[in-house]
Chain A
């Protein structure tokens, strides 16, 4: 899958006029507007949350349009050091001195929401948040800064996401909706038993979805028993057929896999079924099933590789035991089963297997459902016991031996007490390990670009905005440290991350104040009449809102309404010749977007 090196649309190249009011300067010198202070947040009757959203958009705009954007305070020595650093590198910076604008405090607040950094200087290089003074100098020393400065929009992608699970996919789709060029790398390394699956990650393939369906199958067994009491009549012994169920569930999963592929395609997200491994800054190697390697670069990365089940590290475990990775597509009924572990995965699996009428034993090292309310956990345990699940408490397996091959075969499990020297033996058809999960972070070259992981857990520490120790690399989902391992959490954080990275605004608003000709002579006030259109960025800047405050507003509006019905776009408006001198003509010359924050007051004859 050779990707032609594409030109990133680069939002900075749209030819926006320099922002004169925000203290924007070239070459690290600050020019405050003489006489009065600039405001970044728009004045006017908008509510505070709207104003904040507006300010956020504007900051995002500044960051996106500037090669180097420094939020600074004029008296801050750290800010000065950073400015001098860029100056010595001969790099032009856009500097906003927060102490010299009216709403500096608000800007600082919003910045801290975006970056989780409350202090100045707050430095962005080519849209990547580098951090404060120390981080900037560290990046300079490690060469990262130069790298960031060099690669001005020359990456293949705006965003590459490693891992096509719930979190990764939601992030990818959201970023694509926001107009970014996005790639998803997803590759399922087969389990030790050889099980592998399609796009969608744990939840869809080997987690929530098949688990809940098997749970439902078990509940139906109960419902069948109930139904006799409710007057339904059948006499035969009802038996459960594992193969029928598994086939139906796997069919459903295949349709979901397909659905994900389709939705990525619809949103123009590139999907590559290859294993991703970082090779250098901003560059990742993708290796496919056949061992072919392709290299891709991106401005930003999201790691969403999730976790896989842990093995015990005892004799026979990888050879003979299965995990939740294998259970849901097991081609034969597992028969008499030992479930090792007391996690919710362990208890859920034990529960539905028992519901099918299988002989199920759960081996528990210490407590049930660690982290949950223990009174409730024990009640879950006793309910399961009443419904036929056996529990072996305070034992751990030490060896698994195969007695017989087959589908299923026969395994001998040797276990020892956690409290004494007692050992026990048992014979099972299937041993299911559910003792925890390990994150997939060790073999993806994170050390090559300096992304720190927790050596013990393998998880990636991230800050409140999901950023890793490397500014342009983020992590979401089960792989990030200290976050709940739940699908909806991953989905939500992936989506929010994309919105923070690329701004959520799908609408472009153009506006202006104007002074009707008739009012000039009459000496009526200037800058009260206002025109505004709202365009949908995703739909060729189609005009979706039209507002005018001024004389004859109804007469002016009517014609434009008809035009909107016909699919009016900003381009069409720009191509229209104005009728001079009227009020309506302002709509043919709208230039200033609301998010630019530029001045719209009229000073002379337009």
Chain B
């Protein structure tokens, strides 16, 4: 392994001259440090999933690489280590807390399966949070070690551009440092949006930046928003036994298939999450007893209402972390609406040697694996002689609500919009996971649908799966769709029995037929 790394590095060394020679012409107009004299071949701003992937890949190719990362504390003062949103305040802690909630459900199932557990079983937030936080800290540490192993220089500084090749970093103590590089990748991601126009929002509300790091249980919680972040948080809070309300102004899970989204909500509602639909908060006040009083308005009737909560969680969207970067000094263009960075299909910004990947980029899915893959491919193009572009089509994802929703490809609405109702065939089924039967669980929302072109062989445009282990189920089919799977091919696939994913290969009923899509028995 070491020998290989040396060999790779040696190889990279040789290529380096060639690429620089080629790139030299482009950089003719560069100000500041001249080519070859700059500190680094590659500087990555932002140590999240995408940034770290870039840095590691470039180091693997023998480049001199630095990563700068700095976590601005949340308004509530929460801060964390290296690894970005996913590891610290996103996917990882979220899925672990989701798992805690799922375990609560399994504990309720257990007596049906012969396990003698006295119910109800209480849940201790502190214990869970500590276990989750310990795991996250071990991941922070792991990222540090990985960078070190690959000889990537890591700076815990807040970066802003001085010119198009130079970045100024400010450390916690206020010390400044200048770093120059031939190539710069911006991967600063995003942070939760605060509804600053609402009185008390900033002062009393928390966001997903804080929830996973709370030492004490959030208690009775109001989650504001209809994003997947909102629903996931509300889902696990309900699952661990907290009184949870979600306030949604318009539609849930915008951009996702709307039939699936409404079933997600239905399931949550039937499992104890309360919903305030068509409402928008207007102010938050702290009562003398410490509780938070939230006032909201019903958007249709205009009536005001109030409620008291222990915690108010804003999950109304995210804003890109671009403001402190001084992008204008480097000449990097951003979208005036979203402040996100504008890039081309090669992830290049308006400045030739500056690139951007991940959530900070306009029009990209805000997902860890896309950032990682886009980062790797970018570095391979920069330093590895590759020309492969990132394919942003058919990116699979899963929403970890209590009943998980996995999807890949087009939603039914999008398919109809692109191809026309007449050319789209949707196959669907209501199924019952085998494990639900004995446990006497309600499976009303366990549902799968496959959106296909109607023309034989009926190319699969999208797959939507609502049920346990949706992520595991969806992944393989994402590959199938990437390979251009048709309905006919999926139907010729032998199922794995008895699983939930076999329901996908048993989809026989089209929506158009109007037949009852409820699966009964096997086969």
Contact = CB atoms under 8 A, between A and B. Distances in A.
Nearest to B499: A212
Contact of B127 (A200, A212, A231): A231
Q: Which of A204, A209, A216 has the most CB of B within 10 A?
A: A216
Nearest to A167: B523
B53 interface: no
Contacts of B7: none
A224 B110 contact: yes
B497 A488 contact: yes
A488 B495 contact: yes
B216 interface: no
Nearest to B125: A231
Contacts of A166: 522-523
A491 interface: yes
Interface stretch (A3-11, A248-256, A515-523, A584-592): A248-256
Interface in A238-267: 238-246, 248-249, 252, 255-256, 259-260, 263
Contact of A232 (B104, B129, B457): B104
A213 interface: yes
A225 to B, nearest CB: 10
Contact of A248 (B99, B112, B522): B112
Nearest to A214: B113
Interface in B187-243: 240
Contacts of B122: 232-233
A486 interface: yes
Nearest to A252: B437
B385 interface: no
B517 to A, nearest CB: 15
B113 A263 contact: no
Contacts of A260: 521
B518 to A, nearest CB: 11
B128 A230 contact: yes
Q: Which of A166, A241, A263, A487 has the most CB of B within 10 A?
A: A487
A232 B116 contact: no
B416 to A, nearest CB: 21
A217 B131 contact: no
A226 B117 CA distance: 14
Contacts of B115: 217, 220-221, 224, 238-241
Nearest to A243: B114
Nearest to A201: B522
B456 interface: yes
Contact of B522 (A49, A246, A256, A492): A256
Contacts of A223: 103, 106-107, 110
B513 to A, nearest CB: 10
Interface in A474-515: 486-489, 491-492, 495
Q: Which of B457, B502, B520, B523 has the most CB of A within 10 A?
A: B523
A55 to B, nearest CB: 15
Interface string A156-180: 0000000000100110000000000
B494 A492 contact: yes
A372 interface: no
B333 interface: no
Nearest to A239: B116
B103 A227 contact: yes
A217 B438 CA distance: 10
B109 A220 contact: yes
A239 B125 CA distance: 26
B502 A488 contact: yes
B435 interface: yes
A221 B113 CA distance: 9
Given A487-B522, A491-B522, A227 B498 contact: no
A226 to B, nearest CB: 6
B496 A232 contact: no
A245 B112 CA distance: 6
B121 interface: yes
B435 A234 contact: no
Contacts of A209: 434, 498, 522
B523 A170 contact: yes
B107 A227 contact: yes
Contacts of B522: 166, 200, 203-204, 209, 256, 487, 491
Contacts of B111: 244
Contacts of B240: 231
State the main secondary structure of chain A at its contact with B: helix
A216 B113 contact: yes
Interface in B90-135: 96, 99-100, 103-104, 106-107, 109-118, 121-129, 131
Contacts of A170: 523
B123 A256 contact: no
A153 to B, nearest CB: 30
A246 B114 CA distance: 8
A229 interface: yes
B124 A231 contact: yes
A421 interface: no
Interface string A29-72: 00000000000000000010110000000000000000000000
Nearest to A245: B114
B440 to A, nearest CB: 8
A229 B135 CA distance: 12
A441 to B, nearest CB: 23
A599 B456 CA distance: 26
Nearest to B521: A259
A212 B497 CA distance: 9
A208 interface: yes
Interface string B382-414: 000000000000000000000000000000000
Q: Which of A231, A244, A255 has the most CB of B within 10 A?
A: A231
A88 interface: no
Given A252-B437, A488-B502, A231 B117 contact: no
A292 interface: no
A199 to B, nearest CB: 10
Q: Which of A223, A240, A246 has the most CB of B within 10 A?
A: A223
Interface string B7-28: 0000000000000000000000
A220 B438 contact: no
A386 interface: no
A229 B134 CA distance: 12
A232 B434 contact: no
B103 A230 contact: yes
A174 B489 CA distance: 20
A489 B115 CA distance: 34
B369 to A, nearest CB: 25
Interface string B478-513: 000000000000001011111000100100000000
A224 B107 contact: yes
B214 to A, nearest CB: 13
B438 A248 contact: yes
A245 to B, nearest CB: 3
Contact of B498 (A208, A244, A249, A489): A208
B131 A229 contact: yes
Interface of A: 47, 49-50, 166, 169-170, 200, 203-204, 208-209, 212-213, 216-217, 220-221, 223-224, 226-227, 229-234, 236, 238-246, 248-249, 252, 255-256, 259-260, 263, 356, 486-489, 491-492, 495
Closest 8 CB pairs of A and B: A245-B114, A231-B128, A217-B113, A488-B495, A230-B100, A491-B523, A227-B103, A231-B127
23 contacts: A166-B523, A169-B523, A203-B497, A212-B434, A223-B106, A223-B110, A224-B117, A227-B107, A230-B131, A233-B121, A236-B117, A238-B115, A239-B115, A240-B116, A241-B114, A241-B116, A244-B113, A255-B437, A259-B521, A356-B114, A487-B498, A491-B523, A492-B492
Given A220-B110, A232-B100, A492-B492, 10 more contacts: A47-B456, A200-B521, A212-B435, A216-B113, A224-B115, A232-B121, A248-B113, A259-B521, A486-B494, A487-B498
